[in-house]
Structure formats: C-alpha cells, structure tokens
Amino acid sequence: MKRILLASLLAIASSHVLATPFTEVGDAGYSLATAQLLTVGTTSISGLLDSVDIYRFSWGGGLFTATASTGFDPMLFVFDLSGNTLAFNDDYFGLQSYVSPTLASGDYLLAIDSYAYNYGGVLSGFSGAGSSTGGSAYTITLNAPTIGQAVPEPASIALLGLSLAGLAFSRRKF
C-alpha cells in the first residue's frame, strides 16, 4: 500500500516535468462543458471517436501544432472558449489532418471529428453529435511539452507535503 502511494506521489511529481501521452477518459464529448482538460506535459492524445471529441488546454502563447493519425478520415479544429474557429484542416497528410495556428496565451479547445460526421465545423454545430465511449482509435500529436492546465507549483508542493505527512502518520499508527 505504502509502495503504491509512494509510486503515485512520484508520478504526480514527475508529471510536471516529463512529456506524457494523454488518454481520453470515457468520452471527451462535443461541448465546452464536457471537454477534457489536458494535463501539463501532454504531447499526444489517444482516444476513440464516435462523433466528436473535444479537449481543453492552456497555452503559453506561440505556434501550436496538432497532427491527427487515424484509420479513418479525420478533421481537426482549434476554437477559442467563445466557439470561434481559429484553425481547421481536413486533409493535409493524405486524409490525415494538421493544424498550426499561432495562439496568444490562454485557454483553447482542440476538436477532432470525422469527415463522415461532418457537423459544419463550428463548435455550436457539434451540439447535434452523439456521445459514446466506443468508436475508432486515433492519436493526435502535439508540438509542445508545456501544453496543459496550469497547476500552481506552491499548491502541488503543499499537496505533496500533506501526502508525505499522511504517509508518516499512517506509518506511526500501524
């Protein structure tokens, strides 16, 4: 138990430094409300597409690139949180998509859908999409290791300290 706790603490600590793949949890869905937050360090996303999947990320500013690698015919979109389309691509590498907008620092949405489920390419259009946890596998490769939801460092250090204190306490008790 202690070993597992220690391993997870180390995983939390290293996630702030190392680039990591992000795997869709359940269904990322088709709206701002259900968009899954990419963790700090994400350099690739793996998921299953049934209609549309949307991810939310924080960006420090500059060139952002995303490349889709799938067994189907995908489309990629970048929206701001108001739903404005900042980038869109259908076919760049064969049928695979590539977007490369230059973004100011802030929060954005990255969406993938299939040409077979064309909802008009606007965020509001995706409201007609379904939602299920199955579908066709995809990978989206991202250009920057700094992508993700910003986590204030003092808070995570405090959390780590709290967990270690808990570990020490449990050791004393049992």
Q: Does the protein bind Ca ion through residue 113 (CB under 5 A)?
A: no
Q: Does the protein bind Ca ion through residue 90 (CB under 5 A)?
A: yes
- Confirm if 15 and 39 have CB atoms less than 8 A apart: yes
Sequence-distant (6+) residues with CB within 8 A of 159 are 12
Q: Among 7-15, 34-42, 53-61, 117-125, which window interacts with Ca ion (CB under 5 A)? A: 53-61
Q: Does the protein bind Ca ion through residue 73 (CB under 5 A)?
A: yes
CA 1 to chain centre: 30
Task: Give the start-end residues of each E strand in the chain.
Answer: 20-23, 36-37, 42-49, 52-59, 62-63, 66-70, 74-80, 85-89, 98-99, 102-103, 106-114, 136-142
Residue type, 25: V
Q: Among 11-19, 21-29, 100-108, 137-145, which window interacts with Ca ion (CB under 5 A)? A: 21-29
- Binding Ca ion (rule: CB under 5 A), the pick from 23, 61, 91, 157 is 91
Nearest CB to Ca ion, comparing residues 26 and 106: 26
Q: Does the protein bind Ca ion through residue 53 (CB under 5 A)?
A: yes
Q: Which stretches of the chain bind Ca ion, using CB under 5 A? A: 27, 48, 53, 73, 90-91, 95
